[in-house]
A and B are shown apart, each in its own frame.
Chain A
Amino acid sequence: MTKEDAQGSTAEETQSKKGLKKQQKEAEKAAKKAEKQAKLAADQQGTEEDDFSKDQYGIAAMVQSQQKLDRELVRVQDLTPEMADKVIWLRARVHTSRAKGKQCFLVLRQQQFNVQALVAVGDRASKQMVKFAANINKESIVDVEATLRKVEQKIESCTQQEVELHVEKIFVISQAEARLPLQLEDASRPEGEGDEDGRATVNQDTRLDNRVIDLRTTTSQAIFRLQAGVCMLFRETLTKKDFVEIQTPKIISAASEGGANVFTVSYFKTSAYLAQSPQLYKQMCICADFDKVFCVGPVFRAEDSNTHRHLTEFVGLDIEMAFNYHYHEVIDSITDTMVQIFKGLRDRFQTEIQTVSKQYPSEPFKFLEPTLRLEYTEGVAMLRQAGVEMGDEDDLSTPNEKLLGRLVKEKYDTDFYVLDKYPLSVRPFYTMPDPSNPKYSNSYDMFMRGEEILSGAQRVHDPQLLTERAIHHEIDLEKIKAYIDSFRFGAPPHGGGGIGLERVCMLYLGLHNIRQTSMFPRDPKRLTP
Chain B
Amino acid sequence: MSMYQVKPIYEGGTKIDLPTCMYKLPNVHEQRASSCFSEHAHQNGEPDSAVRALEARQDEIMRKLFELKAAVDGLAKTVATPDADLDLTVSCSLASPSPTACTFTGTADLDTLLGKDLGALRDIVINANPAQPPLTLLVLHGLLCQRYRVLSAVHVHSSVSGVPPQLLSCLGARLTDGSARNLFQLGFTLIWKDVPKLQMKFSVRNMCPVEGEANVARFLFRLLSPDPSDVGQATLVDSWVDTAFFQLAEGGAKEQAAALRSLNAALGRQPWLTGPELSLADIACYCCAVRSGAAAAAPTHVQRWMKACENLGYFSRAQLQ
Contact = CB atoms under 8 A, between A and B. Distances in A.
Contacts of B120: 375, 377-378, 380-382
Interface in A364-386: 365-370, 372, 374-375, 377-378, 380-382, 384-386
Nearest to B161: A343
Interface in B75-89: 85, 87-88
Contacts, number: 72
Given A328-B177, A366-B158, A369-B156, A412 B189 contact: yes
A367 B192 CA distance: 12
A312 interface: no
Nearest to A327: B178
A39 B119 CA distance: 86
A83 B155 CA distance: 46
Nearest to A421: B180
A367 B284 CA distance: 31
A374 B153 CA distance: 12
B158 A342 contact: yes
Contacts of A441: none
A198 interface: no
B205 A386 contact: yes
Interface string B122-136: 010101000000000
Interface string B181-205: 1100000010101000000010111
Interface string B101-145: 000000000000000001111010101000000000000000000
A368 B191 contact: yes
A466 to B, nearest CB: 20
Contacts of A386: 205
A411 interface: yes
A12 B174 CA distance: 95
B87 A368 contact: no
A436 B193 CA distance: 36
Contacts of A196: none
A346 interface: yes
B32 interface: no
B205 A375 contact: no
Given A411-B201, A436-B88, A326 B177 contact: yes
Contacts of B182: 375, 377-378
Range class of the B interface residue count = 20 to 34
Contacts of A378: 120-121, 181-182
Interface residues of A, number: 33
Contact of A366 (B87, B159, B204, B205): B159
Interface in A339-393: 342-343, 346, 365-370, 372, 374-375, 377-378, 380-382, 384-386
A414 interface: yes
Contacts of B204: 407, 410-411
B158 A346 contact: yes
Contacts of B88: 436
Given A375-B180, A375-B181, A414 B205 contact: no
Contacts of B156: 368-369
Contacts of B201: 410-412
Contacts of A413: 127, 157, 191, 193
A495 to B, nearest CB: 13
A386 B158 CA distance: 27
Interface string B157-186: 111000000000000000001101110000
Ranked nearest first, the 4 interchain pairs of A and B with the lowest CB-CB distance are A381-B120, A368-B155, A378-B120, A326-B178
Interface of B: 85, 87-88, 118-121, 123, 125, 127, 153, 155-159, 177-178, 180-182, 189, 191, 193, 201, 203-205
Interface of A: 325-326, 328, 332, 342-343, 346, 365-370, 372, 374-375, 377-378, 380-382, 384-386, 407, 410-414, 421, 435-436
21 contacts: A326-B177, A328-B177, A332-B177, A365-B158, A366-B157, A366-B159, A367-B157, A368-B157, A368-B191, A369-B156, A372-B155, A375-B181, A377-B119, A377-B182, A378-B121, A384-B118, A385-B118, A411-B123, A411-B125, A411-B201, A414-B157
